[in-house]
Amino acid sequence: MSGLTLRSALTFTLLAALTSPAFAAGDPVAGQAVFKSTCTMCHSNQPGQNKIGPSLFGVVGRKTGSEPDYTYSVANKGANLTWDEATLEKYLEAPRVVVPGTKMTYGGQKDAEKRANLIAYLATLK
């Protein structure tokens, strides 16, 4: 492999890694604003305070369908996913694609930066 080709391959690999959702460093302060404007109608950020949707306190790392005292759809209970950053990235973009049959009516956040910020905020809710 020539020096230029190797350099190009390394540059591409580095750029791909830095722009992937796993490396998307969101801003939790900006994410809190997204949460307030988009999520609070249906979700709480307080432990045990379920609303139309389950509390999102502690959601990062939690299994789907596992928030106590919330009645989930069969689809969400059976999804067997863990709400890690990669899963949240996909779900927040298109909830009904990731969990077909979910009762969440939200159409999804199409702005990748807002999704990253929201996920960074959700990760602080521990």
| Per-residue pLDDT, 5 | 52
In a domain, 14, yes or no: no
What pTM, to 2 d.p., does this model score?
0.80
Domain total in the chain:
1
What range does the domain containing 96 cover? 26-122
| Per-residue pLDDT, 25 | 83
Q: What is the pLDDT of residues 20-45, one digit of tens each?
A: 444 458 999 999 999 999 999 999 99
Q: What is the pLDDT of residues 49-106, one digit of tens each?
A: 999 999 999 999 999 999 999 999 999 999 999 999 999 999 999 999 999 999 999 9
In a domain, 51, yes or no: yes
In a domain, 21, yes or no: no
In a domain, 3, yes or no: no
In a domain, 20, yes or no: no
In a domain, 56, yes or no: yes
Contact at 8 Å (CB) between 78 and 13? no
In a domain, 8, yes or no: no
The CATH number linked to 46 is 1.10.760.10
Distances 67 to 19, 114, 123 between C-alpha atoms, Å? 31, 24, 16
User: Both ends of the chain: CA-CA distance in Å?
Assistant: 48
